[in-house]
Structure 1
Amino acid sequence: MTLGSWLTPDPCGIYLPAADAWIDPSKPVARAIITHGHADHARGGHGEVWATPGTLAIMAARYGPQNGRSVDYGESIQLGPIEVGFVPAGHVLGSAQVVLDHAGERIVVSGDYKRRPDPTCTPFQPVKCDVFVTEATFGLPVFRHPETTDEIDKLLSALRTEPERCVLVGAYALGKAQRVIAELRAMGFDDPIYIHGALQALCDLYVEHGVALGELRPATGVAKKELEGRIILCPPGALNDRWSRRLPDPITAMASGWMRVRQRARQRNVELPLILSDHADWDELTRTIEELAPREVWVTHGREDALVHWCRLRQIRARALDLAGFEDEDD
């Protein structure tokens, strides 16, 4: 039997025929196993959903109540003949790798993951396996993320250098915004942080799940003078819209792994690019494969070809999967 033949990659997701279940399907299905709450992996409308408590809470906040089956980290369930477990992925709150055991084989579907410490979520847990299905969002050697503390220090230095201005940080509403706040707190920044209204609900959800974010204040309706020398977070789409024009000469920043690409920063008129990613960079992707030592690697969600080539040079069987509908909401 071909390794992993009981799992079927499909443009709409990864299908488990023996369990009649899908992993991160891009369409409503009867049975869905969800790795994490970003919209390119978690969609509403499924008949049943298996996910961690954090992911189910995020899905409920975004899509309304789900017919959810909560699975804690380290816990396994049986779906037909397949044992399904969840272990931390280190991506965002509740993010999980899906561990599948069947027919004497173990397949780990990573979902999105990173290997760096993050005060807002449980760290990635490596699991030895026969097949490792890995993301490759930053699967090119050019993508080597700097130290998180260096990027946060850039933000704080900008604030100190021009105290009559504010620093406006574009950050995705789920995961990135909360991480920026938590990393600032870890660096000793205790001042109130102002946030766009679109970030409030998910910040509240993180706090409810035990993530300390310190004092947060709404940025809307505040006098311009009060916002001088302050850090303000907003969704990326608000960086250059009417909402931001009322701020005191903002230093426009963007927190994203894509800020490594200068053209991306220029496209968004970003003055202060912060290379802060919730995905593994090239070195972390390759180190993870070396650590897990799988018999095969299946690559998806990004720059597949370079990572497949890297594997084959090391005599590791590898192939790219053609999964559709994945975006960079969570970079």
Structure 2
Amino acid sequence: EKSLANIRNQIEQIQSGIAMKNDEMGTELIDQLTLEERDLLSRLNPEITRLKEKFLSCKNSRIEIETRKEELENNLSTNLMRRQKELEAIISSADSKTLPVEVEAKEQELKESKRTLDEATTVLKANVDAINAHTRQMEQLKKQRDDLKALEANLEQTVQDGAKDLEQLMSSRSTYLVKQDECMKKIRDLGSLPADAFETYKRKNKKQLQKLLYDCNEQLKQFSHVNQKALDQYVNFTEQREQLQRRRAELDAGDEKIRELISVLDQRKDESIERTFKGVARHFREVFSELVQGGHGYLVMMKKKDGDAGDDDMDEDAPR
């Protein structure tokens, strides 16, 4: 209210000053003024303009302040005064003994609220730290991903270069294999070579080898009527004869084993037949003596080489 009164006083002073200036400006005394007075008047005109602007600003501020004052008065009369009356009624109706209990309960609630707030603050801080850690981890992962992408690009380029080199090497390998086959065919056409043929001509250059080849071809022309593959045929036939001899030795050894097996089986067969015959002969004597009282009967085995039976073929258990 004091500020409002001061503002009103300033406004009134400004208005009175403006009225005085207007009165002075309404008079026709400008032509009668001296140079100093005219100079002063020219300096005062901007001041008058500034004061007018200040007056308008103060007027607007006054309107806003009055509006705010009315709002505060309405709030005071409608809310605060009513709340004051309610609190006074509560205080007047409250018992002096229950107030400490309620105060203690409120303080306890306040402590619990503070503790809950501290816990929530701690959890929030932990979450913020975790978020920051995850953010840093994501940045590291992004960096690693970029590094891996760059490495992948380099590897792809390396693989492409390697594929090109491999293709060239495979082409060269195919060419060299064809040349190798041609050379091997020529070597086979030459027939059997000495064991030290490759070592002997390994250190010679191409011209020397071509000269030696020409000389050899000239010498071979003199032996055109000779079978050039006779040595190869002799070696092949010798190897075949050795194989057949080894096969014959194996067959002879197998035949000997088979003969031994047949002999053993024949011996076992004869022993089994003889043992069976002796049992049958013994049983025949017993049955015959029971059938014919006082009679004796014998079974005799006749051998093909003997033609007739003798005492040697009789059972050893028979009576003489």
Tell me whether the two structures share a fold, i.e. TM-score over 0.5: no
Higher fraction of strand: 1
Query: So what's the TM-score if we normalise by structure 1?
Result: 0.15
Higher helix fraction: Structure 1 or Structure 2?
Answer: 2
The higher-RCO structure (CA 8 Å, 6+ apart) is 1
